Amino acid sequence: MVSAVNKDGFEGPKSALQPKHVAIIMDGNNRWAKRQNLSSSAGHKAGVEAVRGVLDACKLHQIDVLTLYAFSSENWRRPRPEVRALMALLMRYLRNEVQELHDDGVRIQFIGRRDRLGPRIVQLMERSEALTAYNTRSTLVIAVDYGGRWDIAQASLRLAADIQAGRVDANSVNETMMSEYLVTGHLPEPDLCIRTGGDARVSNFMLWQFAYTEFYFTDTLWPDFDRTAFEHALIDFGGRDRRFGGRNEEVAHVNG
């Protein structure tokens, strides 16, 4: 175990076992707001501040990919004023933060449906992706109107279309090929999934991709999830015994 220090003097333990891809289910904004006697929109704004801290921690620990579950397919069921506030907040984030992320070498990508989003937000998403497309330091993936079941269904439909068109031999279909048809097919699968807010479920997030992901559940509400809390998750991950269904010596042989 060694220490890492960033330009702000923040120091924390750095485990020999580091995740390359971290996915986060950001839960607890509303409950945080209620405890503070604030509106739900204030809770979501505080959640944006937490994103900045986690991005700093990812930079410090050289995390290659950070995926944030920003808005699920089921979140459309929330009260309309809250949905509008969430979309407005996402648009504000894209207007205010993308240039700084671009300057820092971060590539931004979005996963999820876009046909149910408004044209202005889709335009901002596309501009953000185009601006940062060639950045290589790290990747920030934002899941908007995303659902794991939808992802598997759309992958199946696209694969079936390629089989019908003769581009793919049905007998050659396997798990690796199926993974390539998911919206994350170009990314490594998550090594670690963090869920804040106290619940211990995945809420229809990356169901296929989480086959061998390590999970870290914390009672900390998302607006309170700072760099120190992120460090604790990394330390916990560093102590995991990742066998991927085999034994330690077999995994070491495969990875070596």
Establish whether 75 is a catalytic residue.
yes
3-state secondary structure the chain: CEEEECCCCCEEEECCCCCCEEEEECCCHHHHHHHCCCCHHHHHHHHHHHHHHHHHHHHHCCCCEEEEEEEEHHHHHCCHHHHHHHHHHHHHHHHHHHHHHHHCCEEEEEECCCCCCCHHHHHHHHHHHHHHCCCCCEEEEEEEEECHHHHHHHHHHHHHHHHHCCCCCHHHCCHHHHHHHCCCCCCCCCCEEEECCCCCCCCCCCCCHHHHCEEEECCCCHHHCCHHHHHHHHHHHHCCCCCCCCCHHHHHHHHC
Query: Catalytic pick from 27, 145, 151, 191?
Result: 27
Question: CB–CB of 159/177 below 8 Å?
Answer: yes
User: In the 8-state DSSP scheme, what is residue 204?
Assistant: T
The CA distance from 52 to 102, in Å, is 14
How far is Cα of residue 77 from the mean position of the Cα atoms in its chain?
Answer: 21
Query: Catalytic pick from 6, 75, 135, 204?
Result: 75
The residues annotated with a catalytic role in the active site are 27, 75
